[in-house]
């Protein structure tokens, strides 16, 4: 890597169960409920120079529960809400696939569905990131496994306040 400009650190955040209450196949903004401290956590990461990426399995697309356009609409809405607080997600990476379902275009054994690291690897390929300083926060073992497979640290969030959790991990480096 010598000669390369040092990359930026990134925070990879799972969506359901980390940023918002996991209600199962959520796609309507009316049903969206922020996890306490989530907006504050994103803003702190923004302010500390971290790129913030969402990495989320959205098999509801393959399963025919909602369309990819619904996923994109919800993510745009989330960024609109974050903007009211001076915070933002730099990019949303989502896996719309599943091994079965009626939405045939999305039915496959892909490389991006966590616990596989495809979403994280896509971000690493797309941005000049400092892998050492980058980390993931997820609420499932499959999130942590994806981080490990991509060579970044993973922190498992169970419940409570996300900003307090972020602080307690000491994950943000100078
Ligand atoms: Mg989750
Ligand atoms: Zn996928």
Q: What is the pLDDT of residues 102-145, one digit of tens each?
A: 999 999 999 999 999 999 999 999 999 999 999 999 999 999 99
Residue 31 among the catalytic residues: no
Is the model's pTM score more than 0.85? yes
2 pLDDT higher than 60: no
**Do residues 55 and 136 touch, judged by C-beta distance below 8 A?**
yes
Residue 14 among the catalytic residues: yes
**What gap in Å lies between CA 108 and CA 12, rounded to an integer?**
24
* Catalytic-labelled residue, pool 14, 130, 141, 143: 14
What pLDDT score does 174 carry? 65
Sign of CA dihedral 103, 108, 114, 115: positive
What pLDDT score does 56 carry? 98
The mean predicted confidence, pLDDT, of the chain is 96
Distance 107 CA to ligand 2 centre (A): 9
* Catalytic-labelled residue, pool 16, 90, 130, 143: 16
Q: What angle do helix axes 38-47 and 162-169 make, rounded to 10 degrees?
A: 40
Distance 84 CA to ligand 2 centre (A): 31
Average pLDDT rounded to a whole number, residues 147-163: 97
Q: What percent of the chain has pLDDT over 90?
A: 95
Distance 86 CA to ligand 2 centre (A): 31
Tokens representing 140 are 């499932």
What pLDDT score does 173 carry? 79
What pLDDT score does 4 carry? 61
What pLDDT score does 122 carry? 98
What pLDDT score does 6 carry? 78
Ion ligand 1: residues, CB within 5 A, are 14, 16-17, 139
95 pLDDT higher than 80: yes
Distance 81 CA to ligand 1 centre (A): 20
Residue pLDDT, tens place only, 55-76: 999 999 999 999 999 999 999 9
Distance 173 CA to ligand 2 centre (A): 31
């Amino acid at each position: 890597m010598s000669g390369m400009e040092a990359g930026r650190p990134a925070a990879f955040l799972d969506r359901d169960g980390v940023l918002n209450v996991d209600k199962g196949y959520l796609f309507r903004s009316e049903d969206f409920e922020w996890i306490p401290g989530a907006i504050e956590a994103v803003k702190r990461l923004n302010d500390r120079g971290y790129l913030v990426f969402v990495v989320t399995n959205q098999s509801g697309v393959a399963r025919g529960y909602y369309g990819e356009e619904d996923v994109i609409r919800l993510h745009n809405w989330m960024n609109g809400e974050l903007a009211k607080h001076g915070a933002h997600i730099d990019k949303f990476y989502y896996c719309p696939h599943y091994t079965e379902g009626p939405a045939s275009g999305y039915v496959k054994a892909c490389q991006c569905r966590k616990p596989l690291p495809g979403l994280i690897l896509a971000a690493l390929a797309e941005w000049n990131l400092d892998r050492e300083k980058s980390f993931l926060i997820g609420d499932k073992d499959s999130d942590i496994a994806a981080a490990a497979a991509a060579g970044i640290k993973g922190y498992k969030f169970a419940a409570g306040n996300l900003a307090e959790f972020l602080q307690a991990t000491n994950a943000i480096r100078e």
